[in-house]
Structure 1
Amino acid sequence: MSRRLIPAYLWTGGRTHPSRNVLDRLTVLRAATDHIPSDLTGSGRSVLEILRHGSLPLAEVAAHLEMPVIFLKVLVSDLFDQGLLIVRAPAPVESDAKPDQQLLERVIRGLRALQ
């Protein structure tokens, strides 16, 4: 893995707080357009190129870019403000919902098989 030559906070112009405080690690991101504007910064361009193939959670995009989540939140909020991203909150989990017993048993069997 190569080290980034430019610190992540410089990708955001030195800002460490997004313009919106509703973004979460599990927030689902999707490009709003196939066209990437030519005047977009390199980091914004990288985000849109990753999302060109479909939706991903914010944390996964951060992992692809090897960037701390807080800095990606700043970039994502800027791209959303420009109308270049569609942002969707993660689906809430019902508090009285019970997990699928069969699924849990298959996961346990799979984990035991790895031992």
Structure 2
Amino acid sequence: MPETTAQRSAAARKGAETRKRHEAETKDRERASAAVDRTSELSAEVLKSLEAGQRAAIEAVRKFIDTVDEALPAIGERPSRRQRIIDGAMEMADRLVHTQYAFLRDVVQDAGKALSREDDEKT
């Protein structure tokens, strides 16, 4: 039996809906891919920034120790005021590095939570 206009219209509508759904899914995948790319770029930038901060902290401690060495030369064998100052500077640098790591860990965890929430909302 020949196809009627109503049957062809229904088939055409169904095909259009399928195309629209496919296009929407494709756009969602593209957005997700772009988000992953942006996240990767941000992660790389954060890591570079963290590394630069650590290098700056190490360099600052090195300059500080050189200054202390010039101002307070080592005398004798016992721990001196000079050594306590240097030890304090090293502890300060160590705390700074640990704080930077904690910050980075928190950023990564928050980004992971945010991305997983976005994934959950899409499904």
By relative contact order (CA 8 Å, sep 6+), the higher-ranking structure is 1
Q: TM-score, normalised by structure 2?
A: 0.18
Structure with more strand by fraction: 1
Structure with more helix by fraction: 2
Q: TM-score, normalised by structure 1?
A: 0.19
Query: Greater CA radius of gyration, 1 or 2?
Result: 2
